Amino acid sequence: MKNNRLNILIAVGLILMAGVARIVNHEMHLYNFAPVCALGLFSGAIIKDKRIALLLPILAQLMGDVYISLFTQWQGFYGIEQVCVYASLLLVTLMGSGIGQPKALKVLGFTLGSAVLFFALSNFGVWLSIEFGKVDLYGYGKGFTGFVATYAAAIPFFKNTLIGEFSGSILLFGAYYLLQLAVTRKAIAAKA
């Protein structure tokens, strides 16, 4: 029981640090560089209580959106696209629960899959918002042409998404592994 609480505390601390990273990346204008999917994968893989696992990355995302809304010139809350972002984050968290024992190659594969899912769903939200009422600020157009234009325009941002997600996964899973190793060594030393 005590070990499970420690695992949750370690995971919560790491997830909050990743949420702060989202704010810092926004302030530095490194768009799509935040480890949004890495948050979901990590909490889904590490936290056994799925209610908490689903809640933590959502709260980290929400923390960033509230900050952006209150302290920047950008909108922190902005319509159907955002619903798709949050939905993709929930789906990625559920994906993370399928990782099992987090081995390096498995985590990297799930990270790539989650980045692709996030890219597909979040840009689908952009297309939906243009298709069903939002002003087409970017000139993508409607219908199939607009759909293709939306995804084509998003491709350059996908590089930042990949870098952010792989960096985030490496940091979150790596730090968690090292912290667990340190705690285990301390517990062994205390028994000796």
pLDDT tens for 65-74 read 888 889 888 8
- Judged against a pLDDT cut of 50, whether residue 1 lies above it is answered with no
Give the residue extent of every domain in the chain.
2-191
74-116 per-position pLDDT tens digit = 877 777 888 999 999 999 999 999 999 999 999 999 999 999 9
pLDDT > 70: what percent of the chain?
A: 97
Residue with tokens 């590490």: 46
- Judged against a pLDDT cut of 80, whether residue 7 lies above it is answered with no
Residue with tokens 């870098």: 163
pTM comes to 0.86
| Reported confidence tier of residue 2, pLDDT bands at 50, 70, 90 | low
More confident residue, 56 or 1: 56
Q: Can you spell out the DSSP letters for 163-192?
A: HHHHHHHHHHHHHHHHHHHHHHHHHHHHH-
Cα distance between residue 116 and residue 53, in whole Å:
21
Q: At what angle do helices 50-71 and 80-96 cross, to 10 degrees?
A: 150
- Judged against a pLDDT cut of 90, whether residue 191 lies above it is answered with no
Q: Give the chain's mean pLDDT.
A: 87
Least confident stretch, 89-98, 116-125, 171-180: 171-180
Q: Closest Cα to residue 90, out of 125, 44, 127?
A: 44
- Judged against a pLDDT cut of 90, whether residue 150 lies above it is answered with yes
More confident residue, 126 or 36: 126
Mean predicted confidence (pLDDT) in 148-161: 93
Give the pLDDT confidence score for residue 3 in this predicted structure: 65
CA dihedral of 183, 3, 59, 115, whole degrees rounded to 10 = 70
